[in-house]
Structure formats: C-alpha cells, structure tokens
Amino acid sequence: MATTRVYTKTIINKEKFTSEVSGLTNFSHWSALGSELTVYLTTDFTAQQESDLDSLVANWVDYTTTESLKIYLDESVFPFIKDLINTFAAENMALGITQAGKTADVLGLFVKGYDLHSNSRPLSLRDCFDTGSLYEACNVIEHIRGAPSEFSGMDPFITDARLLEMKNKIETFLGIPLSS
C-alpha cells in the first residue's frame, strides 16, 4: 500500500475538503495543482482507507445546493438589489424628493403590502428586495403600475415610466423578456 493517492479532481472549497478528508485516520495533508489532487497519509493506506478516500473524492461536491444558492444571493442578487435601490434613491434625491416633502409617500409605496395571490400574505417591494425575491418584485411593480392611484401625486419620484424602468432592470438581471 502507498502513503499517497493521486486523483484528477478540482477542489474549490479547500476548507470543506480539508475538514472532510481530515476524518481519515493517518491523514497528513493534501495538495492540489490544477486538477491533480494528491492526498498524503502518515502511514500506508489500508484497503478500507483507500476505499473511503476513493468514495469521498468520487462523490465530492464543493458546495451543497443551499451553499451554492447562498453564494449566488450574496455575490450576485443582493448586490444587484442594493445598486437598484441606491440608484433609485439617488435619482429621487437629485429630483428633490426631500424638498418636495415626498420621502414618506415614496417610502410608503415600497413598504405597503399588496394582495397578489389569493392564498398568500400581502407582499411589499421591500419584502421582495429583502428576501431576494425578484420575480415577486416584478409582480408587485406590475400590480402598482396597474393601479395608478397608488402613486398619484408622487410625480416625478414615482411614475409609470420609472416603475417600468425598475422592472426592466430586474428582468434584464433575471434574463427574462422585458415588459412594456
């Protein structure tokens, strides 16, 4: 038996792999160069250790589905939402929202819950953005656009055109057809 095993496997989540492979008795360390993975033991592998390690490497996934989705949310969705909201807020500031005394009205529109689905609780744009629910954000925006009385008197801070622009930015991010 040997004290090293070489595999063709790319390891991205090194911390997780180290944690899992450390469970092997006699484990020393591992190294990776490109897709070549080498695992070292302090003594010769037993047949069971070879089998366990072969199985671990063959079935290895760097991230669970949940971990992958969390990374996607943290690195893609939430930064997009932050930029979307910051841009909208900056535009409203440039349009003079504070001086016009409309900040509370616009904020109210973002936190107001709307009954979109008969079997669910009301949804607000804020709830959608807080949870990364961009498809539902599109639904809320479309609901608001369909009820112009919701944003009457908020021009130029909330208009149908600005709501459509926000929805189109979300649709572009999601890679779905743009609304008109």
State residue 45's pLDDT score.
75
> For 26-40, 110-124, 131-145, which range has the lowest pLDDT when averaged over its residues?
26-40
Structural contact between residues 62 and 16, judged by C-beta atoms closer than 8 angstroms: yes
Same-domain status, 88 and 117: yes
User: What is the number of domains present in the chain?
Assistant: 2
Same-domain status, 25 and 99: no
Same-domain status, 50 and 138: no
Same-domain status, 95 and 8: no
Q: Return the structure tokens found at 108.
A: 């109210």
Q: 51-62: per-residue pLDDT in tens?
A: 888 888 888 888
pLDDT above 60 for 2: yes
Model's pTM, two decimal places?
Answer: 0.76
Please check whether residue 35 lies inside any domain of the structure: yes
Same-domain status, 24 and 45: yes
Beta-strand pair 4-8/36-41: antiparallel
Please check whether residue 30 lies inside any domain of the structure: yes
**Maximum C-alpha span of the chain:** 80
- In DSSP notation, 69-113 reads HHHHIIIIIHHHHHHHHHHHHHHHHHHTHHHHT-HHHHHHHHH--
